[in-house]
Amino acid sequence: MGITFRAPQIGTLCRPLEGRLVKSASIRFRVDRGTALVSGSFFVSVFPPIADDNPGIPGLPQSASIPLQRVQRDVPGNAPDDQQVVDDEATFNLEAGRTYRTRIEFVQVGHEFPNAVEEKVVVPPCDCSLVEKHLDRTTIKVVDQSGTDVTAEWHDGLCINSDSVTLTVTPPRDVPFRWLDPVSGGTTTTLKIDLPAGTAANRTTSATFEVGYAGCAETRRIEVERCETIIEDQKQPGICSVVDCRWSLSVWKISVIVACLAFYLGMSLTVFHGARAGILGAASETATQAAATLAATATSSQGSTSAQAAQAAVQAVNFKIGAMFDLTIAIAGVVCLILFACAIVLGALTCWLWWACCGADWCRMNSNLEWSLQIVVGLSAILGIVVAAIEFLFVAPRMASEPGSAAATAAAMGVFLALMWGVFIYFQSQVRAARQQGGCRELRLIDPPWEG
């Protein structure tokens, strides 16, 4: 009697079964019953994984004597044409990423001790990129201590004015779920957490859960921030009764963006084109005087003098048109500077209202300012390219007929725009560094402008 354990075949497809990701494993064997041709039964047993075989998996037992799964094959005997060599296999669904002990035994009728052979079967882990994700289909509900649903406020990143909140997580049907922090939450989908009170900068409580099958589970951290406790003698301005916190914060952040871009564009147009308008205006006056002098001395016999007078007059007109063109651009720059001043006033007012009426703190101020500066850096780069293109299209063609002011203006403006863009980047980096040093959470660019 000989029993041979052959190479197992492990399927590549992972599928969920009873809350686990399993693979199909075929345990193959070959038994030579010899010439006895006795009747009996084959038993192929798979035992639960134990710690010695799976050192990287915590919580496994040290031994397992009861089979996890067992397959029986009955083989008759006592006939000349009975099969002498049995070549067969048994298929099991085994959890991926585990090592199992197997036993193949042939039990003869009337014999107390069977013939058996033991081996190990290693089931490789699943490729999680091919396993269905479940976090996107998991819903989270937040309810404050009074029973009010504050999920929308939590999604918007707003603070919750409550001593505690109850979190209800609803994963897809039949998908495993458990709390990682706090572990006392277990696998219940509802968890109550207390929110720290006070006026400290850190009023945030978090809970972490895991959804999905072992080996390919996804984790999500839920952060809930409590609103700053308002002291009774800390009176708010009377206007706070009509202040909308989202509106005031949104207007403030947009005012920062408009102010920076208006200053960025207004200074470049006013300073450089205003200077060119003055240069071309002076050149126009000089050319006009020259034309008048040549015209006064011109006679019928002095054709060249008349031609010079006409040429000087044409040049004076060109200079005059160029001065008016640049003056118009400079006036547009002045309008931008006026817009800058208005944005500063409006931004200061809405920032004060948000700070005084909406329970804001330094971390929120810093994070929202950085959000605005991120927008400024991107838009100023685009705006600088547009201004440079306009300068090239409208100013460069006049370089031949005007003094070197056209080339000088274009070059100086390009340097100024580049320097201002660098200033915006530096300012943003300093705001970010202050936020990181203060331990404040990061406000992402994709967050809505009314966050806070």
Classify 19 as helix, strand or coil: coil
Q: Label the pairing between strands 20-32 and 15-17.
A: antiparallel
CA atoms within 13 A on the CB side of 183: 0
Q: What is the pLDDT of residues 130-152, one digit of tens each?
A: 888 899 899 999 999 999 999 98
CA atoms within 13 A on the CB side of 318: 14
Crossing angle for the helix pair 245-268 and 405-437, to the nearest 10 degrees = 150
Per-residue pLDDT band at 310 (split at 50, 70, 90):
low
CA–CA dist 345, 259 (Å, integer) = 10
The model's pTM is 0.46
- Contact criterion met (CB below 8 Å) for 417 and 385: no
- Tokens at residue 353, please? 């209202």
What share of the chain in percent tops pLDDT 90? 24
Q: Could you tell me which residue, 112 or 38, shows the higher pLDDT?
A: 38
Per-residue pLDDT band at 301 (split at 50, 70, 90):
very low
CA–CA dist 336, 253 (Å, integer) = 18
Per-residue pLDDT band at 300 (split at 50, 70, 90):
very low
CA–CA dist 32, 266 (Å, integer) = 95
Q: Is pLDDT of 331 > 70? A: yes
- The phi-psi region of residue 327 (left if phi > 0; otherwise alpha if psi is between -120 and 50; otherwise beta) is alpha
Q: What is the pLDDT of residues 96-134, one digit of tens each?
A: 999 999 998 877 766 655 678 889 999 999 998 888 889
Least confident of 26-30, 294-298, 368-372: 294-298
Name every residue whose Cβ is closer than 8 Å to that of residue 439 and which is 6 or more positions away in sequence. Answer: 201, 202, 363
Strand order in the sheet with 164-170: 139-144, 164-170, 190-194
Give the H or E element holding residue 339: helix 303-357
Q: Could you tell me which residue, 220 or 250, shows the higher pLDDT?
A: 220
Q: What is the pLDDT of residues 65-79, one digit of tens each?
A: 899 999 988 777 655
- Contact criterion met (CB below 8 Å) for 227 and 163: no
